Amino acid sequence: MTTSGRIFLIACLLALLAFAALACEPATGEHQPTDDGAYGDDSLVVDDGQPMAGGDATVFDRSASAFSHPAPNLTDESLALHERGRQLFNQVFSADSDAVFFGLGPMFNNTACVNCHAHNGRGMPTFDEDEGHSQALMKVAVPEDFGGVPDKPGGPLPVPGIGTQIQDHAIDGFVPDAKLTLAYHSRQVVYADGSTVELMRPDVTITPIAIDEFPEETMTSYRQGPPMHGLGLLEAIPTETIIAWSDPDDVDGDGISGKVNYQFSLDGEDLLIGRFGHKNSNPTLFQQTANAYAFDIGIGNQFFLDPMGNNDEIGEEEIELVAFFLATIGVPARTNLDDPKVIRGEDLFDDIGCVKCHISTVTTGEHPIAELSHQKIHPYTDLLLHDMGEGLANTKREFNAGGAEWRTPPLWGIGVTHTVLPDSGFLHDGRARTIEEAIMWHKGEALHSRELFRNMPKEDRDALLAFLNSL
């Protein structure tokens, strides 16, 4: 279905729910007050002195439920759609033919969307044989001269017998692609004042199961899921704004050369800019969702086949509902804005050039979900690809993205990451246990800013970290 067709589908769903929503009691779910009273009607009273991180989609909750609320500006009809999408997002798929949600696998990484995004947060660095599902995953490909046909025009070439993603679990009667084992290697980085920080580099061992061996030329990319809040607002940032931010040839000479990643639309008719995934490999939430169902859970659909070539295990309407849910999750408001340490840290964030990639403020354009349109938001991202240096590089290209190039992750909500999921990590593979470690992994285009941070006195480093934790 074309983009205009999906817009029409959303409009139809809203219309069908309009009268029903008025007659319904408030739905139970994540938008209800928490047991400890941390979130309720009083939490949604707007404080005029508080920057609205997500515009009217901002929620005032920095508890463990911070990422689990719908945008508070949703209409009753939209809230009903959000709730239906949330239920599908939480649904566990089964290989049992009698199950309501049948179709798991036969090879897969996990059994439900929520299992990789608990509390709508980040994935965890786990390849878990005992639990029967994994939260982390390994993307793979072979070079162009190896031969083969990409899943999508311009996309990575699949590894013969495997595809472009290792699925490390399988239902009865089938075998997984491979066993994945994660280990870490540590090193110390020294600040100018003599203090140190330990950095951990992940190392994934691939033991083939479904094939005898992986080609020597196999390119790999280890990743885990990003948080889910504010995605619809990112989708609503005008394309022309993102393109205007790009400077692939560094014409202005500031050392920052962010570039756009382009992919074809699902119907193959339009070339769109990527916004989602660690390398901006999907242009819309709908496409990201359809892709994840097929590759992460083995749920084939008309847009992406499962490993057995099935294309009818989930329908377009269900994918649209999950995408709607993802688009309408609220963004937690900032905190401690009057704290002198936080104010000092924000100035330092600007002074050392972090804001060149982590752009603080933008206004959204038109979006099929009206509540996301024309919102002044503070995501701290340019949604562009940047070279982050060899330390963060992998060997796999993805459309226009090289191995060392990654999307600038939004920083809104980063300060409650460990409140939502205490053991979650930062960066594309979760290697950084703290925000400080994540900064110290920055090289490539960010090396200058990283070195300015490394040479700061501890008081200034702490102030900058205090600012980031206020987001």
pLDDT digits (tens, 9 = 90+) for 10-44: 444 444 444 333 333 333 333 333 322 222 333 33
Q: Which helix (H) or strand (E) holds 243?
A: helix 239-245
- Residue 279 covered by a domain: no
State both tokens at 321: 């509902």
| Length of the chain as a residue count | 471
Closest by Cα among 324, 327, 333 to 412: 333
Q: Average the pLDDT over each of 17-21, 64-68, 273-277, 460-464 and give the range with the smallest value.
A: 17-21
- Residue 68 covered by a domain: yes
Determine the Cα–Cα distance for residues 455 and 22; give it in Å rounded to an integer.
59
Does 2 score more than 60 pLDDT? no
- Residue 185 covered by a domain: no
Question: Quick check: 390 and 408 in contact, CB under 8 A?
Answer: no
pLDDT score recorded for residue 5: 52
For 74, left (φ over 0), alpha (ψ -120 to 50), or beta? beta
Owning domain of residue 443? 3-83+328-470
Condensed to tens digits (0 to 9), the pLDDT of residues 95-142 reads 988 777 889 999 999 999 999 999 999 999 899 877 788 999 999 999
State both tokens at 109: 């990484």
Please compute, for residue 160, the number of CA atoms within 13 A of its CA located in the half-sphere on the CB side: 10
Which CATH number does the domain housing residue 57 bear?
Answer: 1.10.760
- Residue 417 covered by a domain: yes
Secondary structure (3-state) at 331 = strand
State both tokens at 441: 């992994």
50 falls in which pLDDT band (50, 70, 90)? low
Determine the Cα–Cα distance for residues 306 and 83; give it in Å rounded to an integer.
27
Closest by Cα among 163, 168, 137, 166 to 151: 163
Secondary structure (3-state) at 224 = strand
For 335-388, give the DSSP string. --TT-HHHHHHHHHHHHTTGGGTS---EE----SSGGGTT-EE-------EEE-
- Residue 192 covered by a domain: no
- Residue 182 covered by a domain: no
pLDDT score recorded for residue 412: 98
Closest by Cα among 117, 77, 80, 73 to 331: 73
3 falls in which pLDDT band (50, 70, 90)? very low
Strands 262-264 and 165-166: unpaired
Mean pLDDT confidence for 348-373: 98
Question: Quick check: 170 and 176 in contact, CB under 8 A?
Answer: yes
Determine the Cα–Cα distance for residues 180 and 167; give it in Å rounded to an integer.
9
- Residue 127 covered by a domain: no
State both tokens at 267: 């119907």
pLDDT score recorded for residue 393: 93
Mean pLDDT confidence for 225-239: 97
Question: Quick check: 45 and 400 in contact, CB under 8 A?
Answer: no
Determine the Cα–Cα distance for residues 60 and 414; give it in Å rounded to an integer.
15
- Residues in Cβ contact with 92 at an 8 Å cutoff, skipping those fewer than 6 apart: 101, 111, 112, 115
- Residue 183 covered by a domain: no
Share of the chain above pLDDT 70, in %: 89
Determine the Cα–Cα distance for residues 191 and 418; give it in Å rounded to an integer.
25
Domains held by the chain: number: 1
